[in-house]
Amino acid sequence: MKKEFDYGREYAEGNRGQEGFDAPVDIEKMLTSTSDIPPDDYHAMKNAGIENPDARQYWMGYNSYFEK
């Protein structure tokens, strides 16, 4: 079963090459934004049975895409 980390990494992979998706994000800044998880991914996680999606895990997955 996919976890928040997996969704975040897939979000980075799916948006590579687009402006603003070329580097890791500041996780603390993302956690305090109006929408801490992109709405489409949030709904996908809820539909997959993740009751309370963890935004920190999501953005850690996103950042993992940029690790060498």
Q: Is the pLDDT of residue 20 over 90?
A: no
State the pLDDT at residue 13.
96
Residue 13: domain span: 4-64
Angle, vertex CA 4, rays to CA 24 and CA 53, nearest 5: 115
Q: Is the pTM of this model over 0.85?
A: yes
Q: What is the Cα Rg of the chain in Å?
A: 11
Total domains in the chain come to 1
pLDDT tens digits along 27-63: 999 999 888 999 999 999 999 999 999 999 999 999 9
